[in-house]
Amino acid sequence: MAKVFAVTVILIAIGSAIPILMHKWVPPVDISTHGPLIDEQLSETMVEAGISFLAAQFILGLFVWKYSNTPKSAKIRNFPGGATGLVTAAVLLVGLEAMALGIFGAKAWASVYFTPPKPDALKIQAQAGQFAFYFRYPGPDGRFGPIHPDLINEGTQNFFGLDPDHDPDSKDDIVTAELAVPVNREVHLLMHAKDVGHSFFVRELRIQQDFVPGLDVSVHFTANKTGRFEIVCTQLCGLGHYNMKAYLSVLSQPDYDTWLKQQATMQ
């Protein structure tokens, strides 16, 4: 039975590693300028965690195989180096490895959160509500009109609660259901939650950020490949959570300009 356990544990370890080695279950191709740092961090962590996982399972299997059903006369022996050796190994190998991952990972995190967006970054507001995303572009004046929560009304399609009759800044604001951004241009996404918590997740963009009711948060990113990608909500927001999605279109600058003009005419 001990040998069956040993073989099973080792087979499970190998079997678990195969899909990872096949590179089938990996995040999709990155389309952001900050993404390579995250991907590199993911790969390094996979190597280190993978080695720890395989080593621990193999040694567990090996020892169970070797030291079960030993004769009664056999003497108990201690692992060479004893507890001191193992504690030293844990602190030196795993502790240093973990800290190194932390330090290098901090660089990837800093690239998303510690560098402020450039002053000329394209400002777009994203609003999340049960169960849809809406986006707002400031129009030619470059300014967003204020949000009046009491004016928000899905029925009249006033998703942001704008009052263009009284707020001049709102007059040229462009509200869309799709997020279109120009390629290779930094975007500063201002995130506003209308009702409960939601999240903005685009796998290819390597961006996930919660919308926090009562707190306006923002992220900034530069997409460097054109295409159309799904935006999904990852913060449980109610019964329609699974169906709360929108699309991100990364367009060339001329295509983006044309798209924005079209959207402006539809307001």
* Residues 186-245 within binding reach of another protein (CB under 8 A): 194-197, 199, 201, 203, 206-215, 217, 230, 232, 234-243, 245
Nearest residue to 181 (alpha-carbon basis) of 249, 82, 107: 249
Q: How far apart are CA 8 and CA 216, in angstroms?
A: 51
Nearer to another protein, 123 or 206 (CB): 206
Nearer to another protein, 80 or 119 (CB): 80
C-alpha distance from residue 214 to each of 54, 110, 211 (Å): 46, 25, 9
Among 7, 14, 21, 28, contact with another protein (rule: CB under 8 A):
28
Q: At what angle do helices 2-21 and 35-67 cross, to 10 degrees?
A: 170
Binding of residue 94 to another protein (CB under 8 A): yes
Q: How far apart are CA 30 and CA 36, in angstroms?
A: 7
Nearest residue to 210 (alpha-carbon basis) of 228, 229, 230, 196: 196
Cβ distance 201 to 156 under 8 Å?
no
Q: Which of residues 170-189 bind another protein (CB under 8 A)?
A: none
Nearer to another protein, 105 or 117 (CB): 105
Q: Which of residues 118-147 bind another protein (CB under 8 A)?
A: 129-130
Binding of residue 258 to another protein (CB under 8 A): no
Binding of residue 155 to another protein (CB under 8 A): yes
Q: Which of residues 72-91 bind another protein (CB under 8 A)?
A: 72, 74-79, 82-83, 86-87, 89-91
